[in-house]
Structure 1
Amino acid sequence: METNSVIKNREAELPIPSKWRSTIAKIVDALVAKDYVLRSVVPNSELRSPDVASQMRSYIEDYGEKLISLSEKCWDSSVYIWQGKDWLALVDLSTDKEEVSDLVMQLSISELEADFKFTVEMVYVP
């Protein structure tokens, strides 16, 4: 299910809105290019802290499969939920062996005046 609406719902996880997907895909493409500090990413995206870059590199390398751009199937299982001041998003990542891998990117997404700010929290295997 694809939707463009961003909903503030604390009760249920919802599919990632289509208006966020391009930015999230660009963040993942930066990780695919091993740009773990997100130098090449679109405006309004950042890491939670500088330590996140080394954590992501470590988890991605230790996973043992090559990270690739997001497959369309990833959107079927990726979700977000309102947390009161921002949204928590969990995005399933793709590898060269799995369209939807066990690797997950966690972001917090907050509202700006006319846009959204994407903060990468971590990449991990739940």
Structure 2
Amino acid sequence: MYDRETRFPMEPTLNHARIEYTEKGVMHMASRRCTILAISPSSAILGIVTQFTIPEQFCLDIPEARISKVGCVVTRINTNDTIQVRFLRLVTEREMNRIFVYSDHPAHRDRVLDLRSW
């Protein structure tokens, strides 16, 4: 399914995020911190310690940009502590702008949030 979707260009960013997933069936909810290194409307590259078990599906929260519960599927686990994920829905342009406003990446230093679009 994911190989037939269009690929959007990745844009580098540095945002703090959190993944949430269930362990042991539905008995225990766990969360781990990660960093979004690059993002596009359909996928992202996350920096997270990969020596622990990473679930196949999880929810991604970006608390700085106030974006919660974006469903993700792991497509690739790299050896340099990064994983590549695909979103279950496309991230809107408005959400992408909010992510870039709160990014620590030098390329997004001059981005501002347009309050009229809220």
User: Could you tell me the TM-score, scaled by structure 1's length?
Assistant: 0.29
Q: Larger strand proportion, structure 1 or 2?
A: 2
Q: Larger helix proportion, structure 1 or 2?
A: 1
User: Could you tell me the TM-score, scaled by structure 2's length?
Assistant: 0.31
Q: Which structure has the larger Rg? A: 2
